[in-house]
Copies of this chain bind each other. A is one copy, B any other.
Amino acid sequence: MSRDDLAQGTETATETTDADRFTNARAIRSTALFEDYTELIADLTEEFGEARITDIARRLGVTHPTANKAVLRLKREGLAISRPYRGVFLTEAGAAMAREVKARHRLVVRLLIAVGVPPDAAEMDAEGIEHYVSETTLKAFEAYLEGRG
């Protein structure tokens, strides 16, 4: 079941209920944090060769125990690895998530700017919006941006 299918529920056919929409949004909310962490760890790794807990925490605007606990969850889910007192690294699954999220992030920002949103606001809003944009919508954004290249 793909990310986009989460909302379809068990209906026999075409109808999408209100509950489906809310259930979809709840499912996404529970993965949004992981998406931000993997994207950030990928960025830090590219910049510094590794992602330190302190840097992760500072960039996210949380305390280091919060970042540490989140990294434990990432490791438990197979998205990252790390040894005590050392940097954090993404697994292949984590790196795949990071790539996917980063692509979504950039496309959302480009779309927002294309329809006239000021770049600062676009960057700000995209940080939340990016998690809720389905594959279908992403494709539409691409097509739209294409058609004004």
Contact = CB atoms under 8 A, between A and B. Distances in A.
Tell me what chain A mostly uses at the interface: helix, strand, loop, or mixed: helix
A78 interface: no
Interface stretch (A80-88, A95-103, A119-127): A119-127
Contacts of A129: 129, 132-133
B61 A20 contact: yes
A24 interface: yes
Contacts of A116: 140, 143-144
Contacts of A29: 29, 32, 128
Interface string A105-143: 000000110011110111111011101111011001101
A142 to B, nearest CB: 10
Given A24-B124, A128-B29, A19 B115 contact: no
Interface string A2-19: 000001000000001111
17 contacts: A17-B61, A18-B59, A18-B60, A19-B61, A20-B61, A23-B61, A25-B128, A26-B61, A29-B29, A29-B32, A29-B128, A115-B140, A115-B141, A116-B144, A117-B141, A121-B137, A125-B134
